[in-house]
Structure 1
Amino acid sequence: MSEPSPVGSGPIRATPASRYLLRPVTSGRITGGLWAERRRINREVSVPEAWDRLHEAGNFHDLELAAGRSDGAYVNELPFLDSDVYKWLEAVGWLLADPDLAAPLAERLRDQLAATAELLVAAQQSDGYLNSHFQVRFPGERFVQLDWGHELYCAGHLIQAAVAVHRAGGDPGVLAIARRVADLVVDTFGTEEGRIDGICGHAEIETALVELHRETGDERYLARAAYFLDRHGHGLLPDGRFGRQYWQDHTPIREAEAVTGHAVRQLYLLAGVADVYAETGDESLRRAAERLWAEMVATKTYLTGGIGAHHSDEAFGDPYELPSERSYCETCAAIASIMFGQRMLMITGEAKYADLLERTLYNGFLAGTSLDGQRYIYANPLQVRDDHVGTGHDQDYARVPWFHCACCPPNVMRLLASLEHYVALSADAGVALHQYVTGRWTAATAAGEVALEVTTDYPWDGTVRVTVADAPAAEWELALRVPSWADEVSLSVDGEPVDAAAVDGWLRLTRSWAPGAVVELQLPLDVRFTAPDPRVDALRGSAAVERGPLVYCLEGADHPGTRLDDVVLDPAAAAVDQAGPETIGGAVTLRLGGRRRPHPVGWWPYGSATGADEDRAAEPIPLVAVPYFTWGNREPGPMRVWVPTS
């Protein structure tokens, strides 16, 4: 019997050796609903415009300098500008496999891809080294600034871009470029005599090398990825201004009890941990990944799925240190959480990972780009005060066309371009639908190939209709995730109610399915008023509003003449859904009950212990809540997710 072929045309490929309970599906296509619209804008606006943005910002100019094709000064002092090009290139790769990509745009993107590949070939040195920052600014200096230099980080993003372009079937030699870089990394680093025993200050190379191993079958790449993981926590990097925990070099991964330091670095590292476990079966790595994910979610994750409380070091704070006004929640960190969570879902099959994926996708991630796809936000707060004074910094709370440090925009592009791979997974037993998105997915099971067509207006409507488009004449399992927020659901097959109880977050239906069979899942989209953990000091006495997977917020644009700092929410008042073309982005908005307290004018901002006098003076007012991901798309102004209830 021949060996099974690797499965997966997206960012994660399952090899015959992969320890996955759930594997990538054979193919997927998003055809309607919210995510189809977001992907259309990404495909038609964001990715094509990024070509110009990256030229205007100097990223391509710097590579031209490295290739000897241009004169002038190196633009921007940041050492990781090449990675922005590579993330955009990865998005292009996934888009070239998108059947909805219009022919003229496809031709344009292929031309840009070919021009970029030609530039990279010209810039790459004879031994495979490729990094414009060091080739131009520090010629001859290699791998000596491992703390801040980002050489391996940039190499990792180049590798991931090359894998995407190769899997899309339009590779003009990018994989060969990336392999030469990877071969240099393999030959340069290690504990063997004459090699550099070191790690990068920004994790990324680890998961990239594993995926290159999956794409090429070269075991050296997997071995070097495992080496980099093993060498974290041995003090190979200096303390730096934030301490060794900033780049997770303070304790070995297998011994770590808590996520620490720079949030993106931590979660890219953990994605690598999950990848190396999947290919090696090292249970100590799996235990570490599960332990650190659980600690992060329980004590350091915002309601939106955002992570990273600190601005100064873009890092996790202490347990329950989750301030709203200073919530950093970098868009890249949300993306890193999604990538780590997808891997843990595939490894364990546990629905809790898909629950956080959903929360982060619809809130912490989707807020990172504007509705028109032309503006981005770096840090995603849960509150912007009335009379907020901006600084004009990348990390300020405003959507802008590009950043001095533009890591987030192309990161958004590559995730949206590959999103169809984050919806359904397969196993020998059947197919698991873990996100509810309109489209078609094909999966290989032990019984044969299965094709599912999903129709839904989720998250605005709770009806999810799954049609079995094609199925083998044998039993197989259809598993549907029941979100942790859904108290009661109803299920029917071909119009007949089915009494099926969720077990560990999954509704599992096993039978011999006939093509044309229709399964309908009804999820309750009642408005929920969510209380914070009492250990989050900044949020005591407040509540947040949720509906389905969406977190809602109040915006000043909907409350003219009212300071949001003076608003009190009344959870006892009825919440009314409103939908239609007049709402922002066509979203379902909510009408809520509330009160407006008199704005203090005196010199002393503290009142009585109970606040009773203040409550009696409050004026009843209607409140309007909009999905958090839509905030900041109108005029600048205040916003808040957590609202006082007394």
Structure 2
Amino acid sequence: MSLIKTTAPVAPAVPSTGRLRPLGLGEVRITGGYWAGRQRVNATATLAHIAHWLEREGWLPNFDLAAAGRLPDGRRGREFSDSEVYKYLEAVAWQLGRDDDPALEETFRNTVARVAAAQEPDGYLDTAFGRPGQTPRWSDLEWGHELYCAGHLFQAAVARARTRPGADDGLLAVATRLADLICDVFGEDGIRSVCGHPEVETALVELGRVTGEPRYIEQARLFVERRGTGVLRDIEWGRSYYQDDVPVREADVLRGHAVRANYLSSGAADVAAETADGPLLAALSRQWANTAARRTYITGGQGSHHQDEAFGDDFELPPDRAYSETCASIASIQFSWRMLLAEGDAAYSDLIERTLYNVVATSPSAEGTAFYYANTLHRRTPGEPADPDTVSPRAEASLRAPWFEVSCCPPNVARTLASLDAYVATAGEDTLQLQQYAPATIVTVLGGGERVELTVETEYPADGRIAVRVDRDADAPWTMQLRVPAWADGAVLTDPDGAPTTVRPGYAAVTRAFRAGDVVTIDLPVAPRFVRADPRIDAVRGSVAVERGPVVYALESVDLPEGWDDVATALADTGRPPRDEAGRVVVDLARRTPPEAAWPYAGQQPEAADAPVAVPLVPYHDWAERGPSTMRIWIPAS
């Protein structure tokens, strides 16, 4: 497969070279189904919710204080609170790229004006550092997050430049002035260090792609090359916490703080794409594969340590102690997406799909106004409903909470959902790949000049049939590729002539000079199924989980039969497979009754179990929508 030269789609990541190019918001439109519903809630409820809390908690007014010269008095929020404003701006920019909304446009411009007014004459912009009475600039690279905040500003500006080229709101100019300063301060002859929280790397590359300024890409390369050389102070969790223990090229697996690790890898992948650095890309491919195989939960979540929000060792994946931060999963999607564009391997899309349905979709409530920060796989005691008018500690909210003292997750979810159309499809010279399945329209021009118009019709993941209708006659043959997930053994592809073919995981392809009205159909086997974990995952050995298509299911206490006390007493009868009944996934469970004992380690103790009964499960992304409950994904097998 040859490398292609990309155009500039309206998308979050637009590498100049790669195996595939993304199709952006102007080319793909999600028109219905599960994700259209999520996007609608995001646009109508979540964005306004975030704006309310940014104002109420003072994180946006911090910029007003800076502009008025009144800092540090009155500043509120953590040192990185500026970044939440920038992520909100990015989310709004992507939403405006999907739908014109004069009121939202005015809100966007007003917010940009408040941010711009706080910028220093030399381009510096951060409300937590640099003014009289504040910590000096760049003096706390380990924890200060100055470059991290700048990165999110750059990504907001990139989103605006791509969705509204030439807009006169000034955001892109604000970003480039700050980027120029960073290049001056941290360039080859400047401060030879990095930010404790990677993020600016990928943002600088995207800003370089938008502006055509190679200096930004070079600065990102310098940051990537410096990482892992001991330029940051050691801390109690070690330099691995912020990936400063091993150079990027030498690492074998992601480690340390899970958000940081994935953002760094995303930036390194961007650098590799722009500098044609094959060895760097190969190192990232190795790290992605090992992380997916050894350090990723069944949900796609990453991070098993609470104290440092970090990856554990290989196969250290306890469900009840899963941290699985929402932001880590969003960063994981960004890393996987860049690797997909670079290498074209469907495995990257498989993990993106798993993570979207089972972490990103799990975090926000159905109403879009409360969120999980961490995503446990096993809840032992019913949670406490969060006060809708109170800020919660980040990971201590036992149910979805409206806002957090560290509230990175709500705007991160918002920007992901607002830009989700850009993750649906990719293209090559004479190929088009469907990477994620949703009702959609696709209009694009392939690299060879062929104009393609498609309509995707599906109820996926409720149903496994995806029908792709061609809406335009082709002038020459081209290839349609449909992703076959790794779990989809027995998938069947039917070409426009009605000929069915059993296809293997990867991509199923049809090549022809398509005619308007041609339909290609793929049927994925989405019947519920038991899965077992690698036996090296000690915490779930002897247990099973249930998946249906890409969706992981959970046993929730509100569905237990009368008289059952808790999900902890359930045993799965694996002699009969899970099944669909009356619109729900059902499994046979027996209730076990362990003997009471004064000492729980007295040898082999007999355990009574009732006869199995049918019990419904709930999609993990819907758990706790019916009130406080206990929950588990992994169920001991009888």
TM-score (norm 2): 0.94
Identify the residue that residue 565 of structure 1 maps to in structure 2.
568
Secondary structure of the equivalent of 1:442?
strand
Distance change (3 Å), C-alpha of 1:4 and 1:554 = closer
* Mapped partners of 1:137, 1:498: distance in 2: 72
Q: Does 1:490 align with 2:487?
A: no
State which of 106, 121, 125 in structure 2 corresponds to 1:126: 121
Q: In the TM superposition, what is the alpha-carbon distance from 1:14 to its structure 2 partner?
A: 3.8
Residues 570/123 of structure 1: CA separation in 2 closer, same or farther (3 Å cut): same
Matched, 1:188 2:205: no
Letter in 2 for 1:528: R
Q: By how many angstroms is 1:577 displaced?
A: 1.6
- Tell me if structure 2 keeps the 8 A contact 1:7–1:23: no
* 8 Å contact from structure 2 (residues 84, 408) kept in 1: yes
Which of the numbers 598, 601, 607 marks the counterpart of 1:603?
598
Deviations 1:9-65 (A, max 9, x none): 1101243xx233344356110000000000000010001221111111211121211
| Identical residues among aligned pairs (%) | 43
Q: Specify the alignment match of 1:32 in structure 2.
A: 32
Q: 1-side partners of 2:247 and 2:226: how far apart?
A: 7
AA of the residue aligned to 1:146? L
Q: Is the 8 A contact 1:165 1:171 kept in 2?
A: no
Residue type of the alignment partner of 2:23: P
Partner residue of 2:478 out of 476, 479, 499: 476
Distance 1:262 1:5 in 2: 33
1:332-386 CA deviation, whole Å, 9 max, x = no partner?
0010010100111111111111111111111022111111111100000000013
Offset at 1:618? 3.0
Taking the aligned partners of 1:517 and 1:77, their CA distance within structure 2 comes to 56
Deviation at 1:498, TM superposition (A): 3.2
Q: Is the 8 A contact 2:329 2:355 kept in 1?
A: yes
Matches within 5 A, 1:386-397: 386=381, 393-396=393-396, 397=398
Equivalent residue letter for 1:627: P
1:124 touches 1:130 (CA, 8 Å); kept in 2?
yes
Give the Cα–Cα distance (whole angstroms) in 2 for the partners of residues 494 and 295 of structure 1.
39
Three-state SS of the structure 2 residue aligned to 1:367 is coil
Q: Aligned partner of 2:626: which letter?
A: R
| 1:117 CA drift (Å) | 1.4
Matches within 5 A, 1:149-298: 149-169=144-164, 170=167, 172-192=169-189, 195-298=190-293
- CA shift at 1:133, angstroms? 1.0
Q: Deviations over 1:423-475 (max 9, x none)?
A: 10000021000111111112221141212110100000011010112243100
Partners of 2:77 and 2:405 within 8 A in 1: no
Letter paired with 1:235:
G
Aligned pair in 2 of structure 1 residues 177, 591: CA closer, same or farther (>3 Å)? same
Which residue identity is paired with 1:558? D
Counterpart Cα distance in 1 of 2:9 and 2:253: 32
Q: Which residue of 1 aligns with 2:141?
A: 146
Whether the 8 Å CA contact 2:570–2:589 is kept in 1: the answer is yes
User: Structure 1 474/447 Cα, relative in aligned 2: closer, same or farther at 3 Å?
Assistant: farther
State the match for 2:389 in structure 1. none
**Aligned-partner Cα distance in 1 for 2:292–2:168:** 39
Instruction: String of CA shifts for 1:194-246, please: whole Å, max 9, x gaps.
Output: x1111000001000011011101000001000000000011110111211000
How far did 1:549 drift? 0.4
- Closer/same/farther in 2, CA of residues 240 and 77 from structure 1, 3 Å limit: farther
Distance 1:390 1:602 in 2: 34
Moved more, 139-148 or 319-328: 139-148
Local SS of the residue matching 2:546: strand
Letter in 1 for 2:20: L
* Cα pair distance change 1:173/1:568, threshold 3 Å: same
Match of residue 542 from structure 1 = 543
Is 1:626–2:626 an aligned residue pair?
no
Secondary structure of the structure 1 residue equivalent to 2:236: coil
AA partner of residue 624 (structure 2): G
Are the equivalent residues in 1 in contact too, given 2:393–2:406 (CA < 8 A)? no
- Which of the residues 460, 463, 467 maps onto 1:461? 463
Q: How far apart are residue 404 of structure 1 and its match? A: 0.7
Q: Is the 8 A contact 2:553 2:619 kept in 1?
A: yes
- Partner secondary structure for residue 125 of structure 1: coil
- Whole-angstrom distance in 1 between the partners of 2:67 and 2:112: 12
Q: How far apart, CA to CA, are the structure 2 residues paired with 1:151 and 1:383?
A: 36
Opposite residue 432 of structure 2, the aligned amino acid is V
Moved more, 149-158 or 569-578: 569-578
| Residues 333-342 or 390-399, more deviating | 390-399
Q: Distance in 1 between matches of 2:130 and 2:82?
A: 12
The answer to whether 1:367 aligns with 2:362 is yes
- Residue 507 of structure 2 aligns with an amino acid whose one-letter code is W
Number of the residue aligned with 2:20: 21
Aligned to 2:42: 42
Structure-2 separation of matches of 1:140 and 1:127: 18
1:575 pairs with one of 571, 578, 591: 578
How many Å separate the matches in 1 of 2:322 and 2:73?
Answer: 36
Shift in CA distance, 7/540, structure 1 to aligned 2, threshold 3 Å: same
Aligned partners of 1:637 and 1:168: how far apart in 2? Answer: 42
**Secondary structure of the equivalent of 1:378?**
coil
Aligned in 2, Cα 1:576/1:21: closer, same or farther, shift over 3 Å? closer
Change (3 A) 1:320 1:208: same
Partners of 2:135 and 2:531 in 1: how far apart?
56
Distance 1:571 1:79, change over 3 A: same
CA distance in 2 between counterparts of 1:390 and 1:312 reads 23
For residues 72 and 557 of structure 1, what CA distance do their matches in structure 2 show?
49
Shift of 1:165: 1.3
CA contact (8 A) 1:24 1:424 kept: yes
CA distance in 1, matches of 2:383, 2:29: 42
Query: Alpha carbon RMSD of aligned pairs, Å?
Result: 2.0
Give how far 1:422 is off.
Answer: 0.5
- Structure 2 Cα separation of the partners of residues 221 and 578 of structure 1: 56
SS in 1 for 2:124: coil
Contact 2:71/2:131, CA 8 A, preserved across alignment: no
SS in 1 for 2:471: strand
Q: 2:628 aligns with which of 613, 631, 636?
A: 636
Any residues of structure 2 matched to 1:315-354 within 5 Å, and which?
315-354=310-349
- The CA deviation at 1:71 is 7.8
* AA in 1 matched with 2:290: E
Q: Give me the whole-angstrom Cα distance separating, in 2, the residues matched to 1:66 and 1:157.
A: 19
Shift of the 393–4 alpha-carbon distance from structure 1 to 2, 3 Å rule, reads: closer
Distance 2:618 2:602 in 1: 31
Unmatched tracts of structure 1, length 5 or more: 580-587
TM-aligned CA distance change 1:5 to 1:481, over 3 Å? closer
Partners of 1:489 and 1:523 within 8 A in 2? yes
Instruction: Report the equivalent of 1:584.
Output: none
Please give the residue correspondences for 1:391-470 in structure 2 after superposition, counting only pairs within 5 Å: 393-396=393-396, 397-445=398-446, 446-470=448-472
* TM-score, normalisation: structure 1: 0.93
What is the distance in 2 between the residues matched to 1:357 and 1:141?
A: 40
Match of 2:607 among 595, 603, 614: 614
Q: Deviations over 1:129-188 (max 9, x none)?
A: 000111468547111100000000000000000111121115511011011110111111
Change (3 A) 1:536 1:389: farther
- Give the conservation status (yes or no) of the 8 Å contact 2:58–2:77: no
Instruction: Indicate the larger mover: 308-317 or 381-390.
Output: 381-390
Name the structure 1 match of 2:63.
Answer: 63
Q: Which runs of 5+ in 2 are unaligned?
A: 387-391
Instruction: Tell me the secondary structure at the aligned position of residue 97 of structure 1.
Output: helix
Tell me if the contact between 1:19 and 1:281 (Cα under 8 Å) persists in the aligned partners.
no
Counterpart contact for 1:471–1:514, Cα < 8 Å: yes
